[in-house]
Homo-oligomer: A and B are copies of this chain.
Amino acid sequence: MEQQFTLSTRARTQFIEITERVQEAVRGSGIRSGVARVFVPHTTAGVTINENADPSVVRDILATLDRLVPQDGSYDHSEGNSPAHVKASLMGFCQTVFVEQGKLLLGTWQGIYLCEFDGPRTRRVVVRVDSDER
């Protein structure tokens, strides 16, 4: 079953760590062993995994994406948020993390991030945990 939560972003582009929220969803599912999937039902926001120890890492990712797909570039789409659409596809809309003993099996430095590219907005995150116990 899906669980959802929403969060409010505060800038045009921003990574917000959601690892704890996803872990809560795993706990809420009662599932001890299986797979958690985090899906973002948007087209100008995505989801990725990256380092959660030093916040300069996600700042560097955001800055690099801004350099590669600049806000003031030349785009057809009239809403002015084409860079956000491109960046969202580059990061992706779904991340998969294994679950063992009720916990997300992330690496030491890994955190899960909602990637806002056209904020500030309210965003939805949908989490699904599937058990491998038969």
A50-B43, A77-B56, A91-B89 as given contacts; A37 in contact with B96, CB under 8 Å: yes
Cβ 8 A contact of A68, one of B68, B76, B130: B68
Copies of this chain assembled into the complex: 3
Q: A54-B77, A96-B94, A126-B98 are in contact. Are A60 and B86 (CB under 8 A)?
A: yes
Residues of B contacting A119 in the complex (Cβ-Cβ under 8 angstroms)? none
30 A-B interface contacts by CB (under 8 A): A2-B98, A2-B100, A2-B105, A35-B37, A35-B130, A39-B97, A40-B107, A41-B105, A43-B50, A43-B57, A43-B107, A43-B110, A50-B88, A50-B89, A56-B82, A57-B77, A60-B77, A60-B82, A61-B89, A63-B75, A63-B76, A64-B69, A64-B83, A64-B86, A90-B91, A93-B95, A93-B110, A94-B96, A94-B97, A134-B134
